[in-house]
Structure 1
Amino acid sequence: MRFKAGIQNINTFNKFTASLASLSPVAWVRLDETEVRFTVIPEQGTQVWSVLSIETIFEQYTIQSAADNVVNLEVPLPSLQRALKSALNATSANIRLTKKDGLPILCLTIVSTSNAPNQFSAFGSTASRDDGPSYDDSQISNVTDGLSRHRETIITQDIPVRVMSMANVQGIHEPRCREPDVYIVLPPLLQLKSISDRFTRLAMTSRASASGGGGTASSSSSGPKLEMSANMHGCLRLGIRTDAMNISSVWTKLSNPDLDPAVVEGGDEGVLQHPSTRMKELGDAEGRSEEGWATVRIDGRDWGKVMSVGRLAGRVIACFCHEHALILYVYLSNSDEDRDVSVLTYYVSSYSP
């Protein structure tokens, strides 16, 4: 079994890993010859099924295994994210699967170059931290280039992983949802996150006040529920309703993507009979009518974590299954028509009214 690759976009990889780590401490990573998959399935909350083209984050990519060149790993996301964060200013970085003391690890090697005085310095041998990967600053070389002297620093960080057999993962499948009632392109996620977090904080403060100040709402296992609705006329509504408040924000003139008959069962006739087509016959572009809206209710704190993917600045299409689920498709390229596009799929369950 072998995996080795250079990391060509450390910043994107770091932001992507950080967004997943906010939802779960562990990810299932599937590596093969054509793509990289990161899957997060927490005990509660949003699931993420992401498919990245190799070129999105890697270069000089090598994968080999007896299982048709497929490698499945269980990876601790906080450790991986800390390692990547330390490589943000690196000259180059590569990652490989190896063993240390008989246990599998992902070894991240970071190379950085800086100007240095004409002297040799070393930082000592490998040191370990209990809360993160190990560091090795012992491999340092000085390179003379004309009158300047540069120091090349090589740091290695070890992320412990677990190799998963095909039998371990064959029963893991994406959630199945019925056909969505509404498709809509969301406004910028960082904007949406700002409003969502504000509504959630207001509801938590209101809950704490209603309890007489005997405790904070943040100690509750269930956070405030946001109500999110959309129609097929470019309208999106985000609100929160409690005994003490009823507030909402509305966006209009958003885009509703057209369905492609080539990927809809039944082709053109299937598009005509699709729930979203029927919903488009209802409502209006100003959102005045309550007809034609699909609604889901989501946990405010979990939603705030989901919105952290906005730091990747991708196009996001939200699919509303009325009173059932919200599915987000986050595209990491400029166009979802690109055959090699990388897409993150978020499955958010709806709570009962």
Structure 2
Amino acid sequence: MRFKASIRNISTFTRLTASLSLLGKDVWLQLNNEQLRFTVVPEQGSQVWAVLAIETIFETYTIQSAAENNTINLRIPLLALNRALRSALNATSASIRLTKKENVPLLSLTIITNNLTSIRPANSITTTNLNPENAPFPEDLSANDSFAEPNAAGFFPHDRETTITQDIPVVVLAPATVASIHEPVCPQPDVHIMLPPLLQLKAISERFTKLALSTSTSATRDRRAADAPASSSRLILSANAHGVLRIGVETPALKIESKWEGLTNPELDPEQVEGGEEGIRVHASTRMKERHGDEAWSVVRVEGRDWGRVLGVGRLGGRVIACFCHEHALILYVYLSNEDTESVLTYYIASYSA
């Protein structure tokens, strides 16, 4: 089993792992000859199924395994991976490979830099080593991975090229282990709509959630309202096929809503819909376009704090299409484009009952 790649877009890789770490502790990374798949399936909250073109993150890329399509499945701690990547943001070059030390599988991130005064190593990485051929310090490092020399104020010398290697413990998953993991099955979406800027949505959503929780404080003193804190933190999201999106919250003491108009409802691609043109004609979203008034709205109810964490994906940029499955789920497609390819991150957010 072999995997090695040079990283072409360390900034995107870092922001991606940061957004995923908000939703779960570990990520299932599937590598093969054709693509990268990042999957986060927490016990509670939103799921992420991100399919990225190899070129989105890596430049040179070598993979080999006994599995079909040279597939390798890894479970990686997101916090450790993100910390290691952050330390490489100002590096001259960075590469990553799958290795093993003392029979423990590791992802080894190697950073080469000439401007060491701008880089501090990430703390809390399980194993961190300096290349002894280039390093001016002893190979035996302290347990807390602090590389500071007594008179260096925590910085490396800046008069030579230095290589820093950070090792992240991983678990190699057998094909049978992941064979039963599948994306959630959802009904046909009723509404497809292009979302406004996610950072704008995030600010409003967090404000509404705080207002709802603050107004429920007095209600929780009444035993009959024991469930108020959980239900009051849920946001009501709705959209129609006429370019309108609403987000609001409703409690016994508060009702507030924001609305966006003039948004785009993307047309379905016949090549992506079963049955082609005929499939589009009978699709749920086509029927929704003919409705008006209250019947024209597709509604989902999401937990406010979980929704706020999902909107953290806005740091990656790109266009975002929301698919509303009435009273069932909200699916977000986040499209990331570079010069040659377009990758998509898929977020599944379950809807609570009314």
TM-score, normalised to structure 2, is 0.87
Instruction: Report how many aligned residue pairs link the two structures.
Output: 326
Please tell me whether residue 272 in structure 1 is matched to residue 303 in structure 2.
Answer: no
1:211-248 alpha-carbon deviations (Å, 9 max, x no partner): 359xxx9xx67771000000000000000001110001
Retained in 1: the 8 A contact 2:29–2:74? yes
User: Equivalent residue for 1:286?
Assistant: none
State the alpha-carbon separation in 2 of the partners of residues 53 and 265 from structure 1. Answer: 24
User: Equivalent residue for 1:76?
Assistant: 77
**Structure 2: tracts of 5 or more residues without a match:** 137-157
Retained in 2: the 8 A contact 1:28–1:75? yes
Secondary structure in 1 matching 2:56: helix
Which letter does structure 2 place at the counterpart of 1:47?
A: Q
Retained in 2: the 8 A contact 1:264–1:271? yes
Instruction: Select the residue among 314, 317, 322 that pairs with 1:313.
Output: 317
State the alpha-carbon separation in 1 of the partners of residues 169 and 47 from structure 2. Answer: 23
User: Equivalent residue for 2:113?
Assistant: 112
Please tell me whether residue 300 in structure 1 is matched to residue 310 in structure 2.
Answer: no
1:14-67 alpha-carbon deviations (Å, 9 max, x no partner): 000010010000111100011000000000110100001000000110000011
User: Equivalent residue for 1:88?
Assistant: 89
Please tell me whether residue 101 in structure 1 is matched to residue 97 in structure 2.
Answer: no
Please tell me whether residue 174 in structure 1 is matched to residue 175 in structure 2.
Answer: no
Please tell me whether residue 133 in structure 1 is matched to residue 144 in structure 2.
Answer: no
Runs of 4+ off more than 4 Å: 220-223
User: Equivalent residue for 2:42?
Assistant: 42
User: Equivalent residue for 1:145?
Assistant: none
**1:225/1:89 CA distance change after superposition, 3 Å:** same
1:282-341 alpha-carbon deviations (Å, 9 max, x no partner): 23xxxxx32311000000000000000000011111000000110110001179xx8x42
Secondary structure in 1 matching 2:337: coil
How far does residue 168 in structure 1 lie from its aligned partner after superposition?
A: 0.6
**Structure 1: tracts of 5 or more residues without a match:** 117-122, 143-148, 284-288
State the alpha-carbon separation in 1 of the partners of residues 278 and 135 from structure 2. Answer: 67
Secondary structure in 2 matching 1:202: helix
How far does residue 115 in structure 1 lie from its aligned partner after superposition?
A: 7.9
CA RMSD of aligned residues (A): 2.5
Retained in 1: the 8 A contact 2:56–2:338? no
Retained in 2: the 8 A contact 1:91–1:112? yes
State the alpha-carbon separation in 1 of the partners of residues 170 and 84 from structure 2. Answer: 14
User: Equivalent residue for 1:27?
Assistant: 27
Retained in 1: the 8 A contact 2:300–2:325? yes
State the alpha-carbon separation in 2 of the partners of residues 221 and 298 from structure 1. Answer: 11
Please tell me whether residue 197 in structure 1 is matched to residue 190 in structure 2.
Answer: no
User: Equivalent residue for 2:352?
Assistant: 351
State the alpha-carbon separation in 2 of the partners of residues 137 and 151 from structure 1. Answer: 14
How far does residue 275 in structure 1 lie from its aligned partner after superposition?
A: 1.0
User: Equivalent residue for 2:217?
Assistant: 208
How far does residue 262 in structure 1 lie from its aligned partner after superposition?
A: 2.3
How far does residue 110 in structure 1 lie from its aligned partner after superposition?
A: 0.8
**1:223/1:161 CA distance change after superposition, 3 Å:** farther
Which letter does structure 1 place at the counterpart of 2:240?
A: N
How far does residue 269 in structure 1 lie from its aligned partner after superposition?
A: 2.0
Which letter does structure 2 place at the counterpart of 1:43?
A: E
Secondary structure in 1 matching 2:294: coil
How far does residue 274 in structure 1 lie from its aligned partner after superposition?
A: 1.0
TM-score, normalised to structure 1, is 0.87
Which letter does structure 1 place at the counterpart of 2:19?
A: S
Secondary structure in 2 matching 1:259: coil
User: Equivalent residue for 1:120?
Assistant: none
**1:194/1:9 CA distance change after superposition, 3 Å:** same
User: Equivalent residue for 1:251?
Assistant: 260
Retained in 2: the 8 A contact 1:315–1:334? no
State the alpha-carbon separation in 1 of the partners of residues 127 and 215 from structure 2. Answer: 45
State the alpha-carbon separation in 2 of the partners of residues 93 and 133 from structure 1. Answer: 19
State the alpha-carbon separation in 1 of the partners of residues 176 and 49 from structure 2. Answer: 19
Retained in 2: the 8 A contact 1:298–1:350? yes
**1:93/1:45 CA distance change after superposition, 3 Å:** same
Retained in 2: the 8 A contact 1:141–1:152? no
Percent sequence identity over matched residues?
Answer: 59
User: Equivalent residue for 1:224?
Assistant: 233
State the alpha-carbon separation in 1 of the partners of residues 135 and 4 from structure 2. Answer: 24
